[in-house]
Structure formats: structure tokens, C-alpha cells
Amino acid sequence: MNGIPNYFIEGEVRKMDYQKTAKEVLSAVGGKENIAANAVCMTRLRVSVADTSKVDVSRLKNIEGVLGVVNSQTVQIVFGPGTVNKVGAAFADLTGLALGAEVADVKAVAKENKQINKEKHNGPVQRFLKRIANIFVPLLPGIIAAGLINGLTNVINVSNGNAWMGVWWYQCIRTIGWALFAYLPIFVGMNAAKEFKGSPILGALAGTYFVVNASMPLLAKVGNVQLKLPLTGVFNPGNGGLISALLAGILFAYLERWIRKWMPNILDTFFTPLLTVILGGLVTVIVLQPIGTWLTQGIYFILNFFYTSLGALGGYLLSAGFLPLVALGLHQALTPIHAMLNDPSGPTNGINYLLPILMMAGGGQVGAGIAILVKSKNKKLKRMTRDSLPVGILGVGEPLMYAVTLPLGRPFVTACLGAGIGGILASLFRLGTVSQGVSGLFGLMIVVPGQQLQYVISMLAAYAGGFVLTYFFGIDDSRIDAVYGKNDEKPVEIEKHSEKMTKK
């Protein structure tokens, strides 16, 4: 179908009209004048609005192609992979804002969103994680492409004994995989400064401190002795990596805004960026890099504790606890960790051992969906489950979550618990991936070559765990009828309950 989704209506198959869908979404979020920014990630169209009271969530959920809505700091409209890019492009044309663009009066929008978050009783940790996710989401396409290139070329080099090392087009492809991770700190610093309302280019300069380059003046030697910093000694740009670049980008943003408050307008253009990079640079290399190094080591220690020390129990806890993060839209806050794990120069040599364990969460949900399809007699629920299962198997679990398990509550819990069975096997098999961005059956594309069979076995175990627990403990007919309506009655609306569960 040329990549265009199909929809079944009264036995007929028709193609989705992306322009029409974009117009309906624009109307439901309050029109063009209410849009502050728009961006897309792997599955969602993220819309920043000036006035949230103009957003009609119930109307959004009834638009063709919409799989779910998360009304949080931004309005996140779930379309699924591929579809979201086409709808997002049409939506950007209607708003006149480039995808990822921000409006000029960003301070007013930020103030409004801050007040909205307070009203929703979001804690400071949750709000901070969402901002971290906003920094890394735009980088995902590059991380995915580079990770796949590195993984595939490594396999090719081993299999043919580096026979293609002198082939120019092959080395051209390898260069992209190398470049993304070599200069990723620059992109992280740039997006961090942008997210925290600073100048992106100054944040990019902050990230340059963590790009390993022998020509860096800080690495210069005097009399064969390398320069030393106060307190920390010899400078190593690789220490701290992405975490240090993230902190430096945030520091530069705050520092720039602080300096601009007292800098006379006539001097602002020249001296605000100059003082920002000089003061920020000194603080970065003396203070932030050691902090970033400590945090990075702490993250690896925790992951190693779950993965090595706890073993199978750690695998269970990680996979069973992942779905709640997805339900809240916080799962992308893990992107920095995935990026570090997929970095070829990192401690895991580019192999991500965390992601396969987390992938099992989708398997538990698929198993729960199959159990509901087999045991439930509610026609509407069975229809929604049947339509959601194929994409869930492929790796897009949001339709199942937002349309089936999350509104019902109990199946969501049993899906989480069942997913842990697959997490145990993924941990025992020592599964790894060479990139990120896909799950389900599509996960076979990024699993370390030679581990595909173990991956399938682990995923089937997650299916089985979700199915058994849901079949025996997750089906509540009275709850199902209350949410979806009885077969002989008009179904009740589920939007309010779904939104309440999402907030939780």
C-alpha cells in the first residue's frame, strides 16, 4: 500500500487522508493561533499550545488515525511510526511552523506551560525528565542510522577480514556511523541550550569540550608534559561524555540568560555570548566534567547492578517496570542512556544490553491482548484488541496500551508482570542491540547478529507471561462493560478514564 495506512469501514478499505487528519488535529487543538510549536518523534506529534483550555482531547481521540493522546506539558498525539511523519509534515504546513520550531515569544509559552504543570501536580523530577527527553528526541533518527551502520559494518569487517577497508564507498558509509557518535556531544549541548531557552550555537560550543580531538588546545603538551587543570588534573574530553555535554548546555543557557538581564542593550550583542562561553567554559572543565563523569559512572554502576549482580531478577524488574514509563510518555528520558550504551567508544563497545530487556514490555502487552481477545465477550473490546494486536506484534504497543489495557487497569498490571518473564530470558541470554528505535518483530533488525533466535524465544516468553496472568487474573467483565459498554447497549465514553489513567 506504498506505506499508506488502511482503515476498515463497513467492509471497505480506504487510504488515510493526511491533509484532512492534520486539519482536524489543528482544529481540535485550538487553531493556528493557539500553536506555539510542533515536532514529531518516532510515534507522536508533539504540539505546544498557548492556551490548553482550547484543546479538545476527546475530539482528538476520535480523529481518524489517532491511536492515543497524552495531554501533558505538550499535547502528544500518537499516530504510530511512518504515519506521524506524514501527518506532522501536513500539520507543519498548516501552522507555518517548521517541525521542531519555536515561536518568538517563548518566555510567555514557557511560563504558561510551567503553570499548567503545577496545576497537574507534576513533580519536579517528572518535569525535568520530560525536558531531557525533548533534548534527545530530535537526535533519534541520526542515532538509529549510525547505530545500524556501526553494527552492520562491524559484522561485515569480521566476516570478510576487513577486505573492504580500501573501498571508498564503504568507508563513506562507515564515516557517518563514526561521525554521529564522535560529535554527538555537540548536538546534545546545542539541544540542551535550546530546550532551556538559551542560544543553540552557544550550547554547541559547550559540547565541543567533550569531542575527542588531538588538536584540542587543552590537550597541548609543554615539554612533553600535558597541561593540568586545578583540582582535576589532566583534562580528558572523553570523561563525562554526553552527561557532561548535557549539563554544560544547560549551564550555558542559564548563564546567557543571567548575563543578558544586567548587560546594557548596546553591549549585549557582543559581550553576552563572549562572557557566556568564557565563564561557562571554565566552569565546565573544572566543575561540570567531574560531575558528569561521576554521574556517568553511577549510571553504569546501577545498570551493571541490575544486569550483573541481580541477574534474572534484575531483568524481571527492568522489563516489568518499563510500561508505566511508556504510559506517562517518559520512556524517551532513557534515550541518553541508550545513546551512551550504543557508543562504540563506550564501556559496552556499542552493544546496548538494556534495550532488549525493555523490549519485552511490549511482548507482555501483546500477550495480555491475546488473552483479552480469547476470553472477553465484549464485542467492542474484542474489535479494538484485534485491530491493535498486529502493530503491537510488530513493535508499536501504544494502540494496545491506550485503547485496551490502560483504560481497564488490571490488564495493564498483568501485562507488566508478564513482560518480566521475557526480561528474565533476555538477561540470561545476554541479548544486545546495535542501535535503538524499534521493538517487537522489528527488533530482529537491530539485535546483535547471531542472537535472533534467543530474541524470539524471549519475546514468546513475554507473550506467554502476559497471556497467562491476564487470562486468569486480568479479566474483569464488570469493569469491561463499565468502560466499553455491554454488547446490547451504547458504549460509554472512555476518554476521561483513559486520560485519568495516563496521568497516573
**Do 321 and 290 share a structural domain?**
no
Beta-carbon neighbour count of residue 439 at 10 Å?
Answer: 23
H or E element, residue 341: helix 335-341
Q: Are residues 330 and 464 in the same domain?
A: yes
Rounded to the nearest 5 percent, the helix, strand and coil shares of the chain are 65, 10, 25
> Which helix (H) or strand (E) element contains residue 6?
strand 6-9
Burial of 20 (0-12, 13-18, 19+ CB in 10 A): middle
Which among 304, 338, 294, 318 has a CA at the least distance from the CA of 139?
338
Residues 396 and 488 in one domain: yes
Specify whether the CB–CB gap between 239 and 289 falls below 8 A.
yes
User: How confident is the model at residue 493, as a pLDDT?
Assistant: 39
Q: Does the residue 412 lie in any domain?
A: yes
Query: What is the 8-class DSSP label of residue 220?
Result: -
Residues whose CB is less than 8 angstroms from the CB of residue 330 and which lie 6 or more positions away in sequence, other chains included: 126, 129, 130, 133
**323 and 292, same domain (yes or no):** no
Asked whether residue 493 is domain-assigned, the answer is yes
CATH number assigned to the domain comprising residue 97: 3.30.1360.60
The whole-number pLDDT of residue 7 equals 46
Enclosing H/E stretch for 242: helix 241-262
Question: Would you say 354 and 307 are in contact if contact means Cβ atoms under 8 Å apart?
Answer: yes
Domain membership of residue 1 (yes or no) is no
Q: Is the domain of 249 the same as that of 346?
A: no
Sign of the Cα pseudo-torsion (158, 160, 161, 162, in order):
negative
Pick from 441, 377, 352, 449: which is nearest to 156 by CA?
449
DSSP one-letter code for 104 = S
Same domain, 294 and 329: no
pLDDT string in tens for the chain (504-residue length):
334 444 434 444 446 788 999 999 999 999 988 888 888 776 788 888 888 888 888 899 889 888 888 876 678 898 887 788 889 889 988 988 877 644 333 233 324 433 443 444 355 666 677 788 788 878 878 888 888 888 788 778 877 888 898 899 999 998 998 898 889 999 999 999 999 999 999 999 999 999 988 888 888 888 788 888 887 778 888 888 888 999 999 999 999 999 999 998 888 889 999 999 999 999 999 999 999 889 888 888 888 888 888 889 999 999 998 887 766 656 666 778 888 888 887 778 888 999 999 999 999 999 999 999 999 888 878 877 887 888 888 887 777 887 788 878 899 999 999 999 999 999 999 999 988 767 888 888 889 888 999 999 999 999 999 999 999 998 888 888 776 666 644 444 334 444 444 444
367: closest CA among 418, 319, 327? Answer: 418
189: which residues sit within 8 A by CB, 6+ positions away?
203, 204, 205, 206, 207, 208, 245, 246, 248, 249, 252
**Are 291 and 332 in the same domain?**
no
Looking at the structure, do residues 340 and 411 belong to the same domain, yes or no? yes
The span from the CA of 380 to the CA of 393, in Å, is 20
Calpha distance 86→67 (Å, rounded): 15
Domain identity same for 293 and 377: no
450 CB burial (10 A radius; 0-12, 13-18, 19+): exposed
404 plus 377 within the same structural domain = yes
In the numeric block, the cell 562572557 is attached to 275
Q: What is the DSSP letter of 490?
A: P
Looking at the domain assignment, is residue 172 inside a domain?
Answer: no
Alpha-carbon distance 292 to 246, whole Å?
9
Can you give the pLDDT at residue 257? 93
- Give a yes or no: residue 153 inside a domain: no
- Residue 307: inside a domain, yes or no? no
Rounded distance, CA 442 to CA 449, Å? 14
| Closest residue by Cα to residue 500 from 73, 77, 57, 28 | 57
Q: Total structural domains in the chain?
A: 3
- Which amino acid would we find at residue 385? T
**135 located within any domain:** no
Pairing of strands 221-222, 225-226: antiparallel
Q: How far apart are CA 208 and CA 182, in angstroms?
A: 10
Distance (Å, whole) CA 372 – CA 104: 49
CB 191 within 8 A of CB 136: yes
Query: What is the C-alpha separation between 204 and 191, in angstroms, rounded?
Result: 8
Q: Which domain holds residue 236?
A: 183-300
Catalytic residue IDs = 41
Is residue 480 included in any domain, yes or no? yes
Assigned C-alpha cell, 190: 546545542
* Whether 483 contacts 494, CB under 8 Å: yes
User: Looking at the DSSP assignment, which residues form a beta bridge with residue 447?
Assistant: 433
Q: Among residues 122, 141, 174, which one ends one of the domains?
A: 122
Compute CA 415 distance to the chain's CA centroid, rounded to the nearest angstrom: 21
Q: Are residues 489 and 459 located together in one domain of the fold? A: yes
> How many other β-carbons are positioned within 10 Å of the β-carbon of residue 300?
17
Domain termination site, one of 71, 95, 122: 122
Does one domain contain both 402 and 355? yes
- Distances in Å between the Cα of 237 and the Cα atoms of 220, 245, 400 are 13, 10, 44
Angstrom distance (rounded) from CA 411 to CA 372: 8
